[in-house]
Amino acid sequence: MTQDEIEAFFSAKGRYLCARWSRPVAPVIFGLADESLAIFRAAITAVLRDIRHPLTETDPEMGANLMVFFVRDWVELDDVPDLATLTGLPDLSRRLIADKAEQYRLFRFDPDGSIRACLVFIKMSGALADTHPGQLAETIAVGAMLTFAREVRPSEGVAALLRAAYDPIMPAVAQDPSHALRLAARLAMSSPRLS
Q: Domain check: are 181 and 135 in the same one?
A: no
Q: Could you tell me if 38 and 98 lie in one domain?
A: yes
Cα separation, 189 vs 160, in Å, equals: 11
Residues 10 and 86 in one domain: no
Q: Kindly report the pTM of this predicted structure.
A: 0.91
**Domain around 121:** 21-145
For the chain, percent helix, then strand, then coil, each to nearest 5?
Answer: 40, 20, 35
Residue type, 17: L
Give the angle 105-142-175 at the CA atoms, nearest 5°. Answer: 70
Looking only at the bridges linking them, the beta strands covering 66-71 and 115-123 are parallel
Query: pLDDT tens across 122-145, in order?
Result: 998 866 767 788 899 999 999 999
Same-domain pairing of 184 and 90: no
**Terminal Cα distance for the chain, rounded:** 21
Identify whether residues 136 and 162 lie together within a single domain: no
CATH of residue 129: 3.30.379
Q: Are residues 134 and 189 in the same domain?
A: no
Question: What is residue 16's predicted lDDT score, i.e. its pLDDT?
Answer: 98
Domain boundary among 130, 145, 160: 145
CA distance 51 to 53: 6
Across the range 144-150, mean pLDDT stands at 96
Calpha distance 149→2 (Å, rounded): 17
Looking at the predicted structure, is the pLDDT value of residue 67 above 70?
yes
Mean of pLDDT values over 110-122: 96
190 and 141 within one domain: no
Amino acid of residue 6: I
**Same domain, residue pair 165 and 137:** no
- Phi, psi (deg, nearest 5) at residue 175: -120, 5
Band (26; pLDDT cuts 50, 70, 90): very high
Query: Total domain count for the chain?
Result: 2
Task: Give percent of the chain above pLDDT 90.
Answer: 79
Q: Give yes or no: residues 129 and 155 share one domain.
A: no
Residue 195: is its pLDDT beyond 60? Answer: no
The model's pLDDT over 76-109, given as tens digits with 9 standing for 90+, comes to 999 998 899 989 998 999 999 999 999 999 999 9
